[in-house]
Amino acid sequence: MSKEKFERTKPHVNVGTIGHVDHGKTTLTAAITTVLAKTYGGSARAFDQIDNAPEEKLVVSPSTLLTLNMTPRLATTHVDCPGHADYVKT
């Protein structure tokens, strides 16, 4: 692990998607990363590469997708949370 000091030179925006199963959280994440990759360069994964198995067919889907994007003016982090009720505290 690097010991160098992190210098924050750009504003940082954190975005999280939460919601019920099959309401489009991962689809939205894939669309955002695709637009950012086309606009600022980089790579984006297709929806089917991100979400291989439908959540309702799994017993529990604990996987969380984290994307980091750097634009000329912003640094963004997008967290795509699982939609299973066991992972959402009320």
- What is the set of active-site residues? 22, 25-26, 84
Q: Which two tokens stand for residue 12?
A: 């940082």
Task: Return the CA Rg of the chain.
Answer: 15
> Is residue 77 within 8 Å of 17, Cβ to Cβ?
no
DSSP string computed for 68-89 = EEE-SS-EEEEEE----GGG--
Cα torsion 51, 88, 29, 56 to 10°: value is: 30
